Homo-oligomer: A and B are copies of this chain.
Amino acid sequence: MYRSHSCGQLRASHINTEVTLAGWVQKSRDKGFMIWVDLRDRYGITQLIFDEDRTPATMMEKAKSLGREFVIQVTGTVIERESKNAKMPTGDVEVLVSDLKILNDAKLPPFTIEDETDGGEDIRMKYRYLDIRRNPVKDSLIFRHKVTMEVRKYLSDQEFIEVETPYLIKSTPEGARDFVVPSRMNEGQFYALPQSPQTFKQLLMVGGMDKYFQIVKCFRDEDLRADRQPEFTQIDCEMAFVEQEDILNIFEGLTLHLLKEINGVEVDKFPRMLFDDAMRLYGNDKPDIRFGMEFGELNAVTQHKDFGIFNNSELVVGIAVPGGNSYTRKQIDNLIKWVKRPQVGALGMVYCRVNEDGTFKSSVDKFYDQEDLAKWAEVTGAKAGDLICILSGETNKVRTQLSALRMHLAEELGLRKPNEFAPLWVIDFPLLELDEETGHYHAMHHPFTSPKPGQLELLDSKPGEVKANAYDLVLNGNEIGGGSIRIHDKQIQATMLKHLGFSDEEAKAQFGFLMDAFEYGAPPHGGLAFGLDRLVAILGGQETIRDFIAFPKNNSGRDVMIDAPAFIDDEQLKELNLKLDIQE
């Protein structure tokens, strides 16, 4: 036994107890005749005391030698602290050390192991094992554990069964590129790593498992972005004999459970928004509804004047910035600059101040009178003291631009509060998406998604208008989950694949196993997958996922610890005696 108690455990009730503790030296203060050491472990910090009167000289010497992050074991007596520290749970006591053992020494860490560290991102990532000792990272990993435990508890209580599906599978196209894994047992053949267990969970439904879930790693060999890892974790779920309504209810229940158990927050029933409405009102299929600033479409009230820009625009659309009339001219110019940056791409911005007295002052007063501008305020919901920002252009583009502006303003105005949670369902997604480069339609969700009842007939005539039985769960402007009711009929699946451009032969080769399974009694089924990394980060009030992953990869897909488990080299590959005889 290295310890009788953890470093977070001792209280006034332990006074006069003999204890043994082990941990890391957080810091020490040496007053010559007296030395205090803060001893840290995962559970907390306890103050140790060595003093000339009560500590043998050799031990005083040893105590003086302790450096930061040394690993030590001490035995001693819990005593009352002279100057108590109300901020520390153990702040009433300290341990008068009678025995000190250095278990391991430590080089000076390359950055301070404190909540606010002096180490930059790169050095902390390189020494991730030291970064994990810091509370913000350690607490994030513990937080993730708590979330997954609650997810499993909730789903298990609802009769979901966690079933492991294979990692070494056959490639099935799901949008991103697969990682491939050569098999030595079967020379010249390759496994793929799953982008999701989609087809396996559908087979489990055909197999009668009824309610399945799995917290599972998925993989995609694609360009990385800050918040996109080549390996990521999903809470993957599927249910049989369900309609969309059943699925929304179950996973709304799960999300409510997490918000309550993890965040202590009670949220009302989630609003549901049509995809088309989300695009119209927020320019975005994952709107942040913690705040308003809904889009107002202004074509009807801007036309028939001489302002050509608006007259020639497919869409003129604005938002009311609450209190925005207080912006200086310079601030507004900065906003205009912001929307004109290439990342946003607007050509300009029209604005209109709503004065406290109810009058208006716009950047296009030449073309529009007070009566016109009053209509703008009405459409955008602007009140006295607000600022109306208006963009115009091609519908899809201008919506995206105004959505970016809306988020930017909300961020600036402090409206995106990390501890406020505003979930919603976005439903009735389009089934197909036009690839503007190729002119082909492809599945917006995946090829197994069912069209809404009665819409199959539109596939030929109006493919872009067919709605899917697909839904996303959105939280604070992030898509945290998405799913659909699946096709469970072989013929419909075949029709769908044909429309997605698969020949009969290709469809059979790629998806034959699934369509065959549909012939042996496939139940209606559907499901949903949460992106765990992002869900955890948002519940934890963070925008980035990195702190919630123990060993993330950097933007080139390398392990964060550059000298650590990362890539194997040619030499090792030769040693592995691997035959890779495929060449392009």
Residues of A within 8 A of B (CB): 1-3, 22-24, 40-43, 69-71, 73, 103-107, 109, 127-133, 138, 141-142, 144-145, 148-149, 152, 156, 161-172, 177-186, 188-193, 199-200, 203-204, 206-211, 217, 219, 221, 223-224, 230-231, 233, 241-243, 245-246, 488-489, 512-514, 516-524, 549-551, 553, 556-559, 561, 563-570, 572-574, 576-584
Contact = CB atoms under 8 A, between A and B. Distances in A.
Contacts of A145: 156, 161-163
Contact of A22 (B70, B523, B550): B523
A104 B166 contact: no
Contact of A170 (B106, B165, B177, B566): B566
B563 A582 contact: no
A220 to B, nearest CB: 11
Contacts of A162: 145, 148-149
Contacts of A563: 512-513, 516
Nearest to A22: B241
Contacts of A132: 204, 207-209
A221 B181 CA distance: 10
29 contacts: A2-B242, A2-B246, A24-B208, A104-B489, A104-B518, A129-B203, A130-B520, A132-B208, A149-B162, A152-B152, A164-B217, A166-B231, A168-B230, A168-B231, A170-B564, A171-B576, A179-B191, A183-B567, A185-B224, A186-B557, A199-B565, A200-B550, A200-B551, A200-B565, A513-B563, A574-B584, A578-B584, A580-B583, A580-B584
A152 B145 CA distance: 10
Given A145-B156, A161-B145, A523-B22, A566 B182 contact: no
B177 A207 contact: no
A520 B195 CA distance: 37
A368 B178 CA distance: 71
A521 B70 contact: yes
A582 B570 contact: yes
A210 B516 CA distance: 49
A556 B563 CA distance: 35
Nearest to A566: B170
B584 A106 contact: no
Contacts of A567: 170, 183, 186, 189-191
A3 B133 contact: no
A550 B141 contact: no
A512 B565 CA distance: 10
Contacts of A219: 167-168
Give me the 10 closest cross-chain CB pairs, A-B, nearest first. A132-B207, A106-B521, A513-B564, A2-B241, A170-B565, A69-B521, A171-B568, A169-B565, A42-B210, A129-B207
Given A168-B230, A200-B551, A521-B104, A579 B584 contact: yes
Given A42-B210, A521-B104, A181 B169 contact: no
A185 B556 contact: yes
A497 B565 CA distance: 18
Contacts of A243: 1-2
Given A129-B207, A130-B207, A166-B559, A185 B223 contact: yes
Contacts of A206: 129
Nearest to A246: B1
A104 B191 CA distance: 33
Contact of A576 (B104, B172, B177, B551): B177
A441 to B, nearest CB: 19
A164 B221 contact: no
Nearest to A184: B221
B178 A576 contact: yes
Contacts of A186: 556-558, 567
Q: Among the interface residues A169, A207, A559, which one has the most CB atoms of the partner chain B within 10 A?
A: A207
